[in-house]
Amino acid sequence: MKIRNIEHVSINVRDIEKSKDFYGRVLGFQFLESVDCGNFVIHYYQVPGGSRLELFDYHGKSKDAPREESEVGLRHLAFTVENVAAHEKVLREAGVEVTLSTCDLPNLGARVLLFLDPNGVTLEFCEKL
């Protein structure tokens, strides 16, 4: 068995318009298409590097269930960027909630920034030190 890459990541959204604005305008992901599946619509975005992001819109019926950082399950999605600190400035100007300001993690050899998407999903921007 040979796994080549992550093909896509899916996120159930609470507010599709805020989510589309965030991933399209704020993060700059390219919108590809929307597919109506009856009980939900999937909105596809191209992620730089080749993967896709799927935003699942259950027409406002997604349940809000805040999770603690240490709970079992997906913790966050991380994206490699250049100049994390510059990205933090752009995100803050766009009103994005930053949960961990740009900082160096020498033991991991990385500079990181954590922030939330409109659905409370934690995202990370990182670069090598």
Angle among Cα 67, 101, 99 to the nearest 5 degrees reads: 15
Instruction: Please check whether the two domains, 1-60 and 75-129, share a CATH topology.
Output: no
Residue with the larger pLDDT of the pair 2 and 111: 111
By CB atoms closer than 10 A (0-12, 13-18, 19+), residue 78 is: middle
Round to whole Å and give the CA distance between 110 and 102. 10
What pLDDT sits at residue 7?
A: 87
For domain 75-129, the CATH class is alpha beta
Does the structure show a pLDDT above 60 at 95?
yes
Could you report the per-residue pLDDT of 9-41, keeping only the tens digit for each?
999 998 999 999 999 999 999 999 999 999 999
Contact 85, 98 (CB under 8 A): no
3-state secondary structure of 6: coil
- Which CATH number, 3.50.50.60, 3.10.180.10, 3.40.50.300, 3.30.565.10, labels domain 1-60? 3.10.180.10
Angle among Cα 10, 16, 19 to the nearest 5 degrees reads: 70
Round to whole Å and give the CA distance between 83 and 30. 21
Structure tokens given for 101: 């300001």
Could you report the per-residue pLDDT of 36-92, keeping only the tens digit for each?
999 999 999 999 988 999 999 988 766 666 666 545 467 789 999 999 999 999 999
Domain ranges of the chain: 1-60, 75-129
* pTM of this structure: 0.88
Closest C-alpha among 96, 85, 6, 15 to residue 56:
15
Round to whole Å and give the CA distance between 29 and 102. 22
